[in-house]
Amino acid sequence: MLRLLQPSRRQWLRSFDSRTIPRHLGQISFSRSSGPGGQNVNKVNSKATLKLPLDALLPLVPLVLHAPLRASRYAVGKSQGQGQALLIQSDESRKQASNVDSCFDKLHQLLRSTAEEVIPGETSPEQQKRVRDLQRAQNEARLKGKKLQSKKKSDRRSSRSDYD
């Protein structure tokens, strides 16, 4: 059954891009950015903070990603419970829109890297052939062992009648 689910996970990973994440799921807030800013420092709220409730995000991703996302360094709130969210911040730019895009890019990278760690990749044809050959050899060795055991027992049966 596990084998049947993996292609859909792989398919999700192949089709997943930064536009896949609906932007309306999270709350975006702005605050003053740290670091040098010249005359703009302490005047413009350019740092973007994306708070994305896991309850809204988890239905959109494969089940295998749920636990790693809950354990992510971006996860805040009650562990394994209601109210847990991902909190992603960006103050890389002086522009709010760029920082919002950066937050969603970070979210995309988090989801992609987590998925690539957890979802197994495609098996190459060479590896599939190697596995088939190993299975065939193992089966032949098993059958050979069974035949030897059967012959040993049949020899015992036939030798017992010699003594009677």
Per residue in 29-61, pLDDT (tens digit) is 888 877 666 666 667 788 888 998 888 888 888
43 and 103 share a domain?
yes
pLDDT-above-90 percentage for the chain: 15
pLDDT-above-70 percentage for the chain: 85
66 and 47 share a domain?
yes
72 and 111 share a domain?
yes
Task: Give the domain extent around 21.
Answer: 2-118
CB 113 within 8 A of CB 63: no
15 and 89 share a domain?
yes
Collapse the DSSP code of 2 into the 3-class scheme (helix H, G, I; strand E, B; otherwise coil) and give the result. Answer: helix
Of the pLDDT bands very low, low, confident and very high (cuts 50, 70, 90), residue 92 is confident
118-141 mean pLDDT:
88
Phi, psi at 87, each rounded to 5°: -120, 110
78 and 133 share a domain?
no
Average pLDDT for the chain: 81
Highest mean pLDDT among 9-23, 73-87, 106-120, 133-147 belongs to: 133-147
6-21 mean pLDDT:
71
46 and 84 share a domain?
yes
The dihedral through the CA atoms of 68, 71, 76, 81 has a sign that is positive
11 and 59 share a domain?
yes
Phi, psi at 90, each rounded to 5°: -150, 130
Q: How far apart are CA 65 and CA 72, in angstroms?
A: 10
Per residue in 140-156, pLDDT (tens digit) is 999 999 999 998 888 88
Query: Which has more pLDDT, 25 or 137?
Result: 137
113 and 57 share a domain?
yes
* Number of domains into which the chain is organized: 2
